[in-house]
Amino acid sequence: MPRSNWQEHKWRRDRLWELGLKRDEYGKYLESPHWQECRKLKLDEQRDVVGYNFCEKCGRRPEATRKTALNVHHLTYERLGNELLDDLQIICRPCHDKEHGRDLETQKRWYDPRRFE
């Protein structure tokens, strides 16, 4: 059962607070050694299973450029700071932008990400 958007926002805010970060400091969390290790483990897991990394939404195997690089995306913020690998998904930059409702060029939010499901 999909969780509501407000619940995910609450979990994100609460987990950041528990980690000593403010709501708008999610970027700091993504730079942390803990997150970098989680990210590496998720990418390694996929590579160990299928032999390469790919976008779990569209199947692309993009070259590692800033515009197309693979991102490790939180499916839930319920365990932010204590993520399970199943809480994470590997997706390409365009799919990640769509997931968060961002325009692919300007990065401004302008559309409903559910439109692409």
Residue 99, pLDDT above cutoff 70: yes
Is residue 26 within 8 Å of 88, Cβ to Cβ? no
Provide the β-strand partners of residue 70: 92
Provide the β-strand partners of residue 74: 88
Nearest residue to 87 via CA among 97, 98, 77: 77
pLDDT at residue 42 in the model: 97
Number of domains into which the chain is organized: 1
pLDDT tens track for 61-79: 877 666 668 999 999 999 9
pLDDT tens track for 104-115: 665 555 545 444
pTM attached to this predicted model: 0.78
pLDDT at residue 8 in the model: 84
Domain with 108, as residue range(s), is 5-116
pLDDT at residue 78 in the model: 93
pLDDT at residue 76 in the model: 92
